[in-house]
Amino acid sequence: NAGVTQTPKFRVLKTGQSMTLLCAQDMNHEYMYWYRQDPGMGLRLIHYSVGEGTTAKGEVPDGYNVSRLKKQNFLLGLESAAPSQTSVYFCASSTGRRNIQYFGAGTRLSVL
Partner 1 sequence: GENVEQHPSTLSVQEGDSAVIKCTYSDSASNYFPWYKQELGKRPQLIIDIRSNVGEKKDQRIAVTLNKTAKHFSLHITETQPEDSAVYFCARPGDGSYGKLTFGQGTILTVHP
Nearer to partner 1, 58 or 77 (CB): 58
Query: How far apart are CB 52 and partner 1 at their closest, in Å?
Result: 14
Q: What's the rounded Cα separation, in Å, for the pair 90 and 112?
A: 20
Rg of the chain's alpha carbons, rounded to an integer?
13
Compute CA distances 26 → 1, 2, 32, 44, 54, whole Å: 7, 7, 12, 24, 18
Member of 16, 79, 96, 110 binding partner 1 (CB under 8 A): 96
Member of 23, 47, 48, 85 binding partner 1 (CB under 8 A): 48
Member of 26, 53, 59, 70 binding partner 1 (CB under 8 A): 59
